[in-house]
Structure 1
Amino acid sequence: MSRDHPSRPPEAAAVAEAEAFLAAHPDIAAFDLVLIDLNGIARGKIVRRHELLPIFRAGRHLPGSILGLDVTGEDVEETGLVWSDGDADRRAWPIAGSLVPLPWTSPPRGEVRLALFELDGAPMQADPRHALARQARLLEADGFHPVLAYELEFYLLDRERTADGDFQPLRLPLSGERPEGIQVYGVTELDRLEPFIDAVYRGAEAQGLPVETMISEYAQGQFELTLRHAGALRAADDLAMLKRLIRGLAVRHGMMACFMAKPFAGRAGSGMHVHASLADAAGNNLFADRGEALSPLLKQAVAGLLATMHESMLVFAPHLNSWRRFSAQSYAPTTPTWGTNNRSVAVRIPAGAPSGRHLEQRAAGIDSNPYLVGAAVLAGMRKGILEKADPGPETTAYAETAGDALPPDWRSAIETASRSAFLKDALGERLHHVFLALKRAEYRRFAAEVTALERRLYGEVV
């Protein structure tokens, strides 16, 4: 078989990567093929060791409908990727640098991440990774090289539910007790979680994930991990891989890793904060301070993010539960504001060395897709830069809700996104159509459900 398939896209991983990996890991007998869908869910299949090299040489057929699935894994015909498309195959190609061991598996398996292409090698436009790649290329064509880093907030929960079927915080492995009180930044909770934390760091090292600080967050059982900055695509890949690492390790430690934006009504929600800057071709930070003042380029990028936030909120808050995260006097922004060293705003300029200055977009929840979030963030920044926009005065105190500056709820966000020329351009027309079809189908599913709360409130009253 030829080592170069005629439709091989230039970004596909080299065959030599697989050959070297197989030589270095003779004990790995199977591999997870993983593609991230529009809901951020990992989908794919497990293949045997002897199948890996042919996949690197010629790709692997996967149905395009894999990108037309809702959160339950059911087809959504309105995406145009199911029966109206004949459930046609596309060709998936390995992503360079994504072939890694899965250190939590026994017997040991490996993982390779995939991107979907048309049979002729053109990017399959409903694949969210291609949307981020396109926005990164547009900035690079303007002389700007995007650098991103994602923060991962999540809950570790007991796998056993309460008598009412509700989630409950984990039992800390070393003490067997559940955390009490908020204990934000508590080191005792981290110490008593040591077996899991050690497994996370060892697993991240084995997979080449640049995982850094772990903290106890603002609720019982809530934690945060940070990732070191990288190029736009690599940063989103790292976030997707880290979620899978944490989920896999949690279940093997008797826990449940929860990436809902708001699993508990009275506790903190979980965000996916995105740190972003732009570099020149030599790697110099173009957002670095100019003397005592912030860089004009940085302020233009901030202005673009604020101007497009209303239209982008469905990307940042894609599910019904996502909208429970936004409330007054919380760490989730409720209005498009910006400020320096202020965690109540939507776009924060963190304190730090002037040479490392960057922005932090705080609207996205951890339940959102990192590729879609990255694409919307980069597109918003680019819009502000091209228009030389002004973000206006910064917010120096708590950022209060400003009327209807953001969509008030999920349904409104769906309709706003459907009308948005900006979002259609940021995601691409086909991806925009598929994403909206999935969100509308998900909304209809919830709208048709009669909840226990409804029965309790209305059953013998109205």
Structure 2
Amino acid sequence: MSVPPRAVQLNEANAFLKEHPEVLYVDLLIADMNGVVRGKRIERTSLHKVYEKGINLPASLFALDINGSTVESTGLGLDIGDADRICYPIPDTLCNEPWQKRPTAQLLMTMHELEGEPFFADPREVLRQVVSKFDDMGLTICAAFELEFYLIDQENVNGRPQPPRSPISGKRPHSTQVYLIDDLDEYVDCLQDILEGAKEQGIPADAIVKESAPAQFEVNLHHVADAIKACDYAVLLKRLIKNIAYDHEMDTTFMAKPYPGQAGNGLHVHISILDKDGKNIFTSEDPEQNAALRHAIGGVLETLPASMAFLCPNVNSYRRFGAQFYVPNSPCWGLDNRTVALRVPTGTPDAVRLEHRVAGADANPYLLMAAVLAGVHHGLTNKVEPNEPVSGNSYEQNEQSLPNNLRDALRQLDDSEVMARYIDPKYIDIFVACKESELEEFEHSISDLEYNWYLHTV
């Protein structure tokens, strides 16, 4: 893949600066392995140089753990002298940041080798490699995310989050009633600003719903016929939500399980596939009889255990699972069934799609999408037949069989021959090294519960 023509991108920069003479700064953004947005802030006068020559950032940006420390066992740190690579703008991502007091814009970047080829460890490039296999087949991925999050107070209590006080009633919410409109009203200014900010940034967010825990909400993104762009939108939406909430004197969390006994935050993705004529290959009056749909489901279910480390990448991710919280724990599917890992919504025949319901909101959208699409492609090309669809409560019919902790998930990923055909084994090594480093640090810590249990009892 060559670097996009500079002249085309310079036209984009010129048009934006002309339309927005008030802009003083531009944030150059790139998402790391954990989906954490990093980068640089420049003055507007430097934007043309960025479009012409890019900016330098160290390759170790993609070897950072969740705390921002370089994991040296990845080989991307001191072993290569903490050397730079070059980052170029992603077209059509230059837009305003509506929360800033000093007018500021933002621009997504992607990392390349100094010679111009994409850098293998950029999660966006990991996804592009998988998408290219569909391009070779003349197929286009159509995708959309549903992103769950909690509004939380800016002040923690004993290091633990708590729901924010309602700007209207002054009370902390305790409702667990899903879809309750009154709870939307309690935080209407913040939530409406999120939707308006998304519109201003070109992010296709079309709805917010109240989820099943206090101050928990879900934003639905409209589907787009570009899997990579769908992930760009998800990354930018998370940043937008965090900053808009902060403007309203609240924080947010996308942590998979911030509260014991309450629902976790999920990141569901809807996927359909278009052929060369723009027709959905999953279209069917009877989805169970559509061979392409069955094979896609079969491939995703077969690769699901090996995908779990990308879907649930943190220690906390696995605390989200539980039947009462509608989080699937076995590789199963069904028609319009929210207890399964892969739900096929039943609507009009041309709207048939897959809804992947396993991942947490703490997942990196690019890696999540890469893992799911790897399964889809594997299923289509090998005509993998799925098990029978589940009717009713899957938790009563299927025992938990997916990895239920990070260490087992990493082992499954590391040992998977199928995933290694889709995701560069060098990248899998880097991902596993980073996550094993985090896991080791976690396991060497001593929790409050251990002190409560053992300090004076043994």
TM range (shorter): over 0.9
Distance 2:288 2:331 in 1: 22
User: What is the Cα deviation at residue 402 of structure 1?
Assistant: 4.0
Say whether 1:50 aligns with 2:45. Answer: yes
The superposition leaves residues 240-291 of structure 1 with CA deviations (integer Å, 9 ceiling, x where unpaired) of 0000000011111111110000001100011100100100123211111156
Aligned to 1:409: 405
| C-alpha contact (below 8 Å) 1:372/1:427 kept by paired residues | no
RMSD: 1.5
Distance 1:377 1:127 in 2: 18
Say whether 1:130 aligns with 2:125. Answer: yes
Q: What is the DSSP-based 3-state SS (H/G/I as helix, E as strand, rest coil) of the residue aligned with 2:102?
A: coil
The superposition leaves residues 105-128 of structure 1 with CA deviations (integer Å, 9 ceiling, x where unpaired) of 011110000100000011100000
Q: What is the DSSP-based 3-state SS (H/G/I as helix, E as strand, rest coil) of the residue aligned with 2:259?
A: coil
Aligned to 1:167: 161
The superposition leaves residues 192-212 of structure 1 with CA deviations (integer Å, 9 ceiling, x where unpaired) of 211112211211111001001
Distance 1:422 1:121 in 2: 29
User: What is the Cα deviation at residue 63 of structure 1?
Assistant: 0.7
| C-alpha contact (below 8 Å) 1:136/1:232 kept by paired residues | yes
Q: What is the DSSP-based 3-state SS (H/G/I as helix, E as strand, rest coil) of the residue aligned with 2:266?
A: coil
Aligned to 2:300: 305
Give identity over the alignment, percent.
38
Distance 1:96 1:422 in 2: 32
| C-alpha contact (below 8 Å) 1:11/1:95 kept by paired residues | no
Aligned residues: 455
Q: Residue type of the partner of 1:296? A: A
Distance 1:277 1:294 in 2: 16
Distance 1:262 1:425 in 2: 32
Change in Cα spacing, 1:273 to 1:165, as seen in structure 2 (3 Å) is same
Change in Cα spacing, 1:8 to 1:16, as seen in structure 2 (3 Å) is farther
The superposition leaves residues 205-247 of structure 1 with CA deviations (integer Å, 9 ceiling, x where unpaired) of 1100100111110100100000001110110000000000000
Distance 1:291 1:192 in 2: 42
Matches within 5 A, 1:83-162: 83-162=78-157
Q: Residue type of the partner of 2:220? A: T
Q: What is the DSSP-based 3-state SS (H/G/I as helix, E as strand, rest coil) of the residue aligned with 1:273?
A: strand
Q: Residue type of the partner of 2:441? A: R
Q: Which moved more, 1:295-304 or 1:283-292?
A: 283-292
| C-alpha contact (below 8 Å) 1:211/1:227 kept by paired residues | yes
User: What is the Cα deviation at residue 158 of structure 1?
Assistant: 1.0
Aligned to 1:4: none
Aligned to 2:283: 288
Say whether 1:190 aligns with 2:219. Answer: no
Aligned to 1:367: 362
Distance 2:287 2:355 in 1: 20
| C-alpha contact (below 8 Å) 2:123/2:366 kept by paired residues | yes
Q: Which moved more, 1:170-179 or 1:388-397?
A: 170-179
Aligned to 1:430: 426
Matches within 5 A, 1:254-293: 254-290=249-285
Q: What is the DSSP-based 3-state SS (H/G/I as helix, E as strand, rest coil) of the residue aligned with 2:267?
A: coil
Uncovered stretches (5+) of structure 2, i.e. residues with no partner = none
User: What is the Cα deviation at residue 398 of structure 1?
Assistant: 1.1
Change in Cα spacing, 1:161 to 1:292, as seen in structure 2 (3 Å) is closer
| C-alpha contact (below 8 Å) 2:288/2:294 kept by paired residues | no
Aligned to 2:227: 232
Distance 2:425 2:113 in 1: 16
Distance 2:332 2:446 in 1: 37
Picking from 200, 205, 215, the partner of 1:221 is 215
Q: What is the DSSP-based 3-state SS (H/G/I as helix, E as strand, rest coil) of the residue aligned with 1:287?
A: coil
